[in-house]
């Protein structure tokens, strides 16, 4: 049999599987009302937005606290990453094995990327955190595609809940990551520029100079300085607001994409039978990678911008 | 930095614009409730929100506009 013919048969086979899956899935059952066996019928899906508590610890301020299923996944991801790190380091050789080579090339790519964006010195400094964020988000996304996630149930006081669930589908994890990224960006900015880092947010020098001029009798120049100084101050205030909005945008970009992906896969499972789920699964593999890179890359860019002196730029508004 | 890297700074621009307008509206509504001046502060808040959003977008774009879209100064 030629290769072309085999490809044709394979394609036809996949298409038939797709059709069968759709027909015997809930969509087909609803459309054609087929007399299918009981085990092929699926329950109605139930999407839960907040993370479910697996091990309750106690109440605090009227809010129940405990170990949630997303926290368990966070720990699992950390263990997996640690294991990979230990395995690669222990068996590292001068001539790398395939696994070591893969890890080395991934790290090298990220390292070069950091250096390209942030420069030689800052790139070295930013690399550890950026890589941690990228790997954490990536492995979190990929782990939650494994069988067992969402399907293994735990008995709790609130009924049966999924034992494991992608950590970034709980808004608290992306928020925590965004806070870490924000602290890192500001910390680096302050370390590099000192108190000068805050200058762009509280740009009231010209405004104060305007008052000084008015009091010394130079009313015309003073009024001009007062006006432009006010605009400078407003722009600084706006920059401060936009810094805080970065936390929100980082959080909800990651959360929305991960939650959306999970709901898509979840719903597909209830709409079709097995085969067509491969499509959203494949997309999820890609989306996890993209989201991980975007989160890391944005942190890198913001940290680089924060660590770059804004001298001379602040006077550009009215040149 | 390259232009596309500078452009990444605008990735949260949608949240920023929406956030400014929502904050303006909510602040206005809250003041209206407190002072029972409906809809004066609502409109002022809305206008302030729009103005903050527009000014913010302009100030974010300024480094790009200044260098003719070539990113920040190539140091």
On whether residue A114 sits in a domain, the answer given is yes
Query: Residue A256 and residue B20: Cα distance in Å, rounded?
Result: 20
Residue B74's pLDDT band (cuts 50, 70, 90): very low
Q: Which of B2, B3, B5 to mutate to test the interface with A (most CBs of A within 10 A)?
A: B5
Residue A316's pLDDT band (cuts 50, 70, 90): very low
Q: Region A293-316: what's the mean pLDDT?
A: 76
Q: How many domains does chain B have?
A: 1
Q: Which of A211, A207, A204 is nearest to A237 (CA)?
A: A204
On whether residue B20 sits in a domain, the answer given is yes
Element (DSSP H or E) covering residue A143:
helix A98-143
Query: Residue A110 and residue A299: Cα distance in Å, rounded?
Result: 13
Which residue range forms the structural domain that includes residue B23? 15-65
Are B56 and A241 a contacting pair at CB < 8 A?
yes
What is the predicted pLDDT for the residue at A128?
A: 93
On whether residue B19 sits in a domain, the answer given is yes
B25 min Cα distance to partner chain A (Å): 16
Chain B residues with CB under 8 Å of A308 CB are: 72
Q: Which residue in B has a C-alpha nearest to residue A297's C-alpha?
A: B8
On whether residue A7 sits in a domain, the answer given is no
Which residue range forms the structural domain that includes residue A305? 43-318
On whether residue B25 sits in a domain, the answer given is yes
CB A107 within 8 A of CB A257: no
Chain B residues with CB under 8 Å of A117 CB are: 1, 5
Instruction: Judge residue A90's burial from the number of C-beta atoms within 10 Å of its C-beta, 0-12 exposed, 13-18 middle, 19 or more buried.
Output: exposed
Phi-psi region of A2 (alpha: psi -120 to 50; beta: other; left: phi over 0): beta
Q: How many domains does chain A have?
A: 1
pLDDT in tens, A135-169: 999 999 999 888 888 778 888 877 888 888 888 88
Q: Which residue in A has a C-alpha nearest to residue B6's C-alpha?
A: A301
On whether residue B8 sits in a domain, the answer given is no
pTM comes to: 0.82
CB A228 within 8 A of CB A221: no
Nearest CB neighbour to A298, from listed B6, B8, B16: B8
pLDDT in tens, A256-284: 999 999 888 888 877 777 777 888 888 99
């Amino acid at each position: 049999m030629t290769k072309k013919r085999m490809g044709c048969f394979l394609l036809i086979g996949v298409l038939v599987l797709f059709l069968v899956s759709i027909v015997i899935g809930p969509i087909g059952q609803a459309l054609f009302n087929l007399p299918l066996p009981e085990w092929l019928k699926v329950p109605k899906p139930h999407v839960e937005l907040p993370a479910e508590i697996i091990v309750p610890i106690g109440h605090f301020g009227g809010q129940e606290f405990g170990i949630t299923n997303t926290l368990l996944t966070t720990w699992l991801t950390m263990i997996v990453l640690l294991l990979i790190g230990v395995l690669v380091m222990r068996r590292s050789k001068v001539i790398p094995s395939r696994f070591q080579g893969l890890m080395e090339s991934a790290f090298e790519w990220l390292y070069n990327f950091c250096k390209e964006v942030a420069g030689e010195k800052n790139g070295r400094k930013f690399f550890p955190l950026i890589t941690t964020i990228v790997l954490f988000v990536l492995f979190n996304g990929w782990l939650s595609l494994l069988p067992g996630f969402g399907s293994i149930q735990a008995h709790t006081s609130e009924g049966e809940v999924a034992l494991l669930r992608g950590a970034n589908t709980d808004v608290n994890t992306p928020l925590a990551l965004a806070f870490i990224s924000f602290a890192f960006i500001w910390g680096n900015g302050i370390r590099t520029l000192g108190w000068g880092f805050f200058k762009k947010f509280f740009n009231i020098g010209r405004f104060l100079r305007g008052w000084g001029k008015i009091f010394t009798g130079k009313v015309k120049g003073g009024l001009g300085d007062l006006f432009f100084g006010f605009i400078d101050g407003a722009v600084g205030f706006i920059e401060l607001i936009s810094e805080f909005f970065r936390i929100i945008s980082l959080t909800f970009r990651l959360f929305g994409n991960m939650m959306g992906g999970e709901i898509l896969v979840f719903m597909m499972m209830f709409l079709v039978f097995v085969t067509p789920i491969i499509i959203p699964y494949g997309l999820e593999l890609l989306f996890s990678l993209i989201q991980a890179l975007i989160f890391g890359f944005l942190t890198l860019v913001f940290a680089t911008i924060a660590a770059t002196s804004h001298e001379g730029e602040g006077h550009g508004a009215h040149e | 930095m390259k232009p596309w890297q500078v452009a990444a700074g605008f990735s949260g621009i949608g949240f920023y614009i929406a956030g400014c307008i929502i904050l303006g509206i909510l602040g206005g509504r809250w003041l209206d409730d407190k002072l029972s001046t409906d809809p004066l502060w609502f409109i002022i808040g809305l206008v302030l929100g729009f103005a903050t959003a527009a000014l913010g977008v302009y100030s974010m774009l300024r480094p790009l506009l200044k260098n003719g879209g070539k990113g920040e100064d190539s140091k």
